[in-house]
Structure 1
Amino acid sequence: MSEEQLPDLLVKTIQQALSYPTAFTALHEPLFEGKEWEYVKDCLDTGWVSSVGQYVDRFERELAAYTGAPYAIAVMNGTAALHICLLLAGVKPGDEVLMPSLTFVATANALSYCGAVPHLIDVSSDTLGVDPVKLDHYLRGIAELRSDGFAYNRQTGRRMAAVVPMHTFGHPVELDSLVDVCDRYRLELVEDAAESLGSYYKGRHTGTFGKLAAISFNGNKIITTGGGGAILTADESLAKQAKHLTTTAKLPHRWAFHHDQTAYNYRMPNLNAALGCAQLEQLPSFLARKHKLSAHYQQAISPLKGISFFTEQEHVSSNYWLNAILLDEPDEQLRDRILDATNNAGLMTRPIWTPMHRLPMYSECPRMDLTVTEQLEHRIINLPSGPKLMD
């Protein structure tokens, strides 16, 4: 098999792996097989469609129970969730926050909303997320612990406040090692778990290792509320502050409008939460089907030369939100030929995101050596990954 033949051969391989005879196969689409209509209709019948209602409270309780986080606060989207997480973690204007350059832009945007400066770090080819070993080596040369108990960037003089790992495509980063690095340099760990609902690291759900974490329920996530997100935390005080900040900081009163601080209208509507409750009931089924799909892909792709299927590490359980193949070597032209061939065949495939240091608004941010990020940019292709593709 030559490199020229690979795009067309991959098209046939994906089609055979899916056994899904449609003219177009989306990258990821929602699946509604449970009580979505029943719960949403209940909102419509009762009139509780907006920011107050029983489904918001229920969704928060059930999400906390599923993840093992003591508290979950539902909000309007994952970016809003991460914004509040960072504020409550103590991130101030002018602080630097360490985050991967290889991530969706929302991670960096949430930092910017706080007035913080993204400090871009490299990832591991084993997890596609933050590389704790490389980060530790980097911080030894650049971080300075001062008497106030915080780490500072020797080059810029700015405080380094937190690390925000993102669990790429649902694959957990090496959390034990990353927690050790954060402890060593007194950095808050705030997980961007937007893509990793249903993913576990050594038996523990992602989003429960740091002080706070953010989850997304966008229409393309493993479960959806249409648009939505959530904040996870084990700290009761932070949970109360998160609820207060995301509901305009209104003080309880039968009729008066008293607000005690500048806050945000980030509430998740009851209508969306109703959808989420029905979706959460089906999450085990979605996960089982996605694991089956990833196994089909791995088996089908393994004989092909020049590419490999990305699989979870032995000590984790990934939700395989988006399945991915990797070219053996960085090759932008070959990657784009594969993208062209698959999309022309009605198979919606996508490259990984443009790294943050290549975007104009973040191109001048401080950054470490990003060799692995720049290689992976031209190696990764996402395949259709919806749970119904194995039906």
Structure 2
Amino acid sequence: MSQAIVEFVRDIYKTDQFIPLHAPTFNGNEMAYVSETIQSTFVSSVGKFVDDFERKIEAYTHSPKAVATVNGTAALHAALYMAGVERGDLVITQALTFVATCNALYHMGAEPIFVDVSKVSLGLCPKAVEAYLEQNAELNERGCCIHKHTSQRIRAVVPMHTFGHPVELDELVDVCRKWKLTLVEDAAESLGSFYKGKHTGTLGEFGAVSFNGNKIITTGGGGMVLCRDAEVGARTKHVTTTAKVPHPYEFFHDEPGFNYRMPNLNAALGCAQMEVLPTFLGQKRKLAQQYQDFFVGTDFQFVQEPEYAQSNYWLNALICPDADTRDELLKVTNENGVMTRPIWKLMHRLPMFKDAMRGDLSVSEWVESHLVNLPSSPVEI
């Protein structure tokens, strides 16, 4: 079966060369827009493309305010800062995630609480979050959510939309409302994904998007904070641009800030990529359907979008029947020049998060031992 998968993928991409997991595609105005920034000399944090890119993301996601940043981790860091996360706080998130989710928490001085994911979405499970809080948390007299055993404040919940598949957001919003927690969506992988018609990253107070080179569109590096409130978004822009008060020549900064500005050069690339995003999404959905059809009647299960959502299918994922089959598939495909990858090691298995508090992670552990990502670059089918 592993060799058959190699041949199937090669047939889709029509090449005998190495096939990466997800490569960027440049076939629009990328060269023209980037050249324009070079000719203008405005290649750094000042230039028209930064504003244009933010407006394009706002229009596409229907976010009241989008704030461009240097990368997705910076976007999540800024979102957590604006959400009021402080040193010593606890934040509920998933162990089944890319390390950037937890790195952002670490640099806030906050500690993660790892809660299990749902088999439906591969993202944070609302029932598991509710169960953990019922057993381990309480609301104090000021309405703050406090961990019973450590007396630390639980400040926020950070779900990650794994491989672009939206989590069950309505249920998470309800849990956060009940327990007085702020919902911050790690939407790094889910540009172009919709939950019941609403773009991911717009149902929480904040969302964080990534435009790394392996994402559905890229700015080389880059990220975006999606803000549910326009006024809060304006302050997010202020804080992420060194908190400098506008003035013709004076330098005055009215609060501590971050230098998280996206360079104009990167934003130019993003503006061109946004013009072809609908094409990429269409191609990726056709690719996902090809994979789904191929694995019908086999012992492998292709990961499909949840019924309540429309996924961008950023990375196609396959559930293998057991860990040995997974390992064989990874070995054969990579030896034959078809790039596949296992899912990330669970965060509590990493040395810096091994002592983090956690609930039952049985679903996360099952997914970790069974899942393989397949080549997912947009392709004409």
TM score, norm. by length of structure 1: 0.95
* Alpha-carbon shift at residue 56 of structure 1 (Å): 0.4
* Alpha-carbon shift at residue 276 of structure 1 (Å): 0.3
In structure 2, the residue matched to 1:178 is 172
Measured against aligned partners, the alpha-carbon deviations of 1:105-162 in whole angstroms (never above 9, x if no partner) come to 0000001111000111110111100110122122111110111111111111110000
* Alpha-carbon shift at residue 19 of structure 1 (Å): 4.6
> Is 1:376–2:370 an aligned residue pair?
no
* Alpha-carbon shift at residue 13 of structure 1 (Å): 3.5
Cα separation, 2, equivalents of 1:74 and 1:22? 38
> Is 1:349–2:332 an aligned residue pair?
no
**AA at the equivalent of 2:372:** I
Measured against aligned partners, the alpha-carbon deviations of 1:347-375 in whole angstroms (never above 9, x if no partner) come to 11001001100000000000001111111
User: Is the partner of 1:338 in helix, strand or coil?
Assistant: helix
**AA at the equivalent of 1:255:** Y
* Alpha-carbon shift at residue 98 of structure 1 (Å): 0.2
Cα separation, 2, equivalents of 1:158 and 1:349? 41
> Is 1:125–2:119 an aligned residue pair?
yes
In structure 1, the residue matched to 2:215 is 221
In structure 2, the residue matched to 1:321 is 314
Q: How many residues in Structure 1 have an aligned counterpart in Structure 2?
A: 381
**AA at the equivalent of 2:185:** E
* Contact 1:25–1:346 (8 Å) recurs in 2: yes
Could you list the runs of 4 or more consecutive aligned residues of structure 1 that deviate by over 4 angstroms after TM superposition?
none
In structure 2, the residue matched to 1:336 is 327
> Is 1:199–2:193 an aligned residue pair?
yes
Moved more, 284-293 or 141-150: 141-150
In structure 2, the residue matched to 1:211 is 205
* Contact 1:13–1:301 (8 Å) recurs in 2: no
> Is 1:367–2:358 an aligned residue pair?
yes
**AA at the equivalent of 1:14:** V
Cα separation, 1, equivalents of 2:151 and 2:371? 36
Cα separation, 1, equivalents of 2:374 and 2:210? 20
> Is 1:12–2:7 an aligned residue pair?
yes
Measured against aligned partners, the alpha-carbon deviations of 1:261-316 in whole angstroms (never above 9, x if no partner) come to 22111100001001000000111000000000000111112132x21110011221
User: Is the partner of 2:357 in helix, strand or coil?
Assistant: coil
Question: Unaligned stretches of 5+ in structure 1?
Answer: 1-5
In structure 2, the residue matched to 1:264 is 258
User: Is the partner of 1:357 in helix, strand or coil?
Assistant: helix
In structure 2, the residue matched to 1:235 is 229
In structure 1, the residue matched to 2:288 is 294
* Alpha-carbon shift at residue 324 of structure 1 (Å): 0.4
Cα separation, 2, equivalents of 1:48 and 1:14? 42
Aligned equivalent of 1:386, options 357, 362, 377: 377
> Is 1:54–2:48 an aligned residue pair?
yes
Cα separation, 2, equivalents of 1:373 and 1:281? 36
Q: Percent identity?
A: 52
In structure 1, the residue matched to 2:278 is 284
Measured against aligned partners, the alpha-carbon deviations of 1:175-215 in whole angstroms (never above 9, x if no partner) come to 11111111111110000000000000111110110111100
User: Is the partner of 1:191 in helix, strand or coil?
Assistant: strand
User: Is the partner of 2:209 in helix, strand or coil?
Assistant: strand
Aligned equivalent of 1:102, options 96, 107, 116: 96
In structure 2, the residue matched to 1:76 is 70
Moved more, 148-157 or 270-279: 148-157
Cα separation, 2, equivalents of 1:382 and 1:164? 23
**AA at the equivalent of 2:68:** A
Cα separation, 2, equivalents of 1:70 and 1:259? 25
In structure 2, the residue matched to 1:3 is none
Give runs of aligned pairs for residues 125-144 of structure 1, distance below 5 A: 125-144=119-138
Cα separation, 2, equivalents of 1:145 and 1:153? 9
* Alpha-carbon shift at residue 22 of structure 1 (Å): 2.9
Aligned equivalent of 1:36, options 30, 39, 43: 30
TM score, norm. by length of structure 2: 0.98
Cα separation, 2, equivalents of 1:270 and 1:358? 38
Question: Unaligned stretches of 5+ in structure 2?
Answer: none
